Amino acid sequence: MNESRGVLVIAHGHPRYAKQAVTLARSMRLHNPDIPIAVGTDLDPRFFLGLFDAVVPWKFQRRGFLSKLDMYDISPFEKTLFLDSDIIVWRPLSMVFDRFAGEPFAVMQDDEPRGTWYENLERLRSEFGEVERIRFNGGLYYFEKCDAAERLFRDVASIETRYDDLGVERLYGKLSDEPMFGLIMSREGIAVTADHSRAYWIATTWPHGKPYYIDSVAGECWHLEGKEKVHRVMMHFYGGAVNSYRYRREALRLALVGRYPVQRAAADRLLRLFGAIVWALKWPWRRDRFSEALMRIRRIPAGTD
């Protein structure tokens, strides 16, 4: 397989990552039917039948976050958009490929106010430059098959044995891909891509503390920045958010529409019933909401949240 461009996802180590990858693939099939999707995996390939254009068996030498260091070698595409398995896509990704076209390697700026990844900035600056200016979310990487990108991935891999000696922050106690790529990007003068237009938000970061609305089937996803409604191309359910009610609801919504002859309106009503039951079980002192939700199920327009 040698398609000019496509989406790559990695699922390895535990079947839950296969389930997440399948949910991502269902959202891709719904909103990007013409863009091929490949999965690099060490799991049973039967998990991925019918949804992926390419299943790439892979023996991962690195586990956890560092499995992403293999994505250049795994990808069957000339132009690759790598997405973490816990992402759901809501809009056509052609705008993302167009945004990055011609770049050997690119990531999206992280707008979340967080500190540095590094302990000894002075030491790192002498070797890698102004490393503190590189902040991004590793749920999305773009790269093209070329000498520059291949060299970058090789140089990032060389950081692994020096990780702790360089004073790089661990994530959940594990070596993390983001600061490793950040060091090499800083040294090579590769800037993160900012998303200032807000026409359709490409960054994958979670809208912490902001009201948001999602409907995977309708392709609706937005959050509020003040009073401004910011539409999103995708959302990254990281840090345990895959266990949230809304992620599970959207995974079920995509499964219902993708696997069974269920109309969107019927799926919405089933999901509202599911949500009402969850609410009644989780907050029994508010069971009035359950009866209220049941009454709304029959008359609510499809696609509202």
Residue 183 burial (10 A CB sphere; 0-12, 13-18, 19+): buried
Q: Any residues with CB less than 8 A from the CB of 119 and at least 6 apart, and which?
A: 167, 168, 169
Tokens of residue 156, six digits: 């990032």
251 secondary structure, DSSP code: H
In angstroms, the CA 31 to CA 33 distance is 6
In this structure, are strands 140-144 and 79-83 parallel, antiparallel, or unpaired?
Answer: antiparallel
Q: What is the pLDDT of residues 259-292, one digit of tens each?
A: 655 555 666 666 666 666 665 666 554 555 555 5
Handedness of CA 9, 69, 187, 114 (dihedral sign): positive
φ and ψ at 142, to 5 degrees? -120, 135
Angle at the Cα of 138 (from 167 to 71), degrees rounded to 5? 100
φ and ψ at 183, to 5 degrees? -65, -45
Predicted model pTM: 0.85
Q: What is the pLDDT of residues 210-265, one digit of tens each?
A: 788 888 888 888 888 888 888 888 888 987 889 888 898 899 889 887 665 555 56
Q: In the chain, count of helices (H) and strands (E)?
A: 9, 11
Please give the pLDDT value at position 155. Answer: 97
Amino acid type, 164: D
Tokens of residue 2, six digits: 């040698």
Q: Which of 195, 276, 303, 239 is nearest to 87 (CA)?
A: 239
- Grouping H, G, I as helix, E, B as strand and the rest as coil, residue 76 is coil
In angstroms, the CA 19 to CA 11 distance is 9
Q: What is the pLDDT of residues 39-95, one digit of tens each?
A: 999 999 999 999 999 999 999 999 889 999 999 999 999 999 999 999 999 999 998
Neighbours of 55 (CB within 10 A): 18
Confidence of residue 158 (pLDDT cuts 50, 70, 90): very high
Q: What is the pLDDT of residues 133-156, one digit of tens each?
A: 788 889 999 999 999 999 999 999
In angstroms, the CA 64 to CA 53 distance is 24
In angstroms, the CA 229 to CA 249 distance is 22
In angstroms, the CA 202 to CA 101 distance is 15
228 or 301: which leads in pLDDT:
228
Q: What is the pLDDT of residues 190-209, one digit of tens each?
A: 988 877 655 556 666 666 77
In angstroms, the CA 134 to CA 154 distance is 19
Q: What is the pLDDT of residues 97-107, one digit of tens each?
A: 999 999 999 99
φ and ψ at 20, to 5 degrees? -65, -45
Tokens of residue 151, six digits: 């060299």
Please give the pLDDT value at position 293. Answer: 52
132 or 255: which leads in pLDDT:
255
Tokens of residue 118, six digits: 């590094």
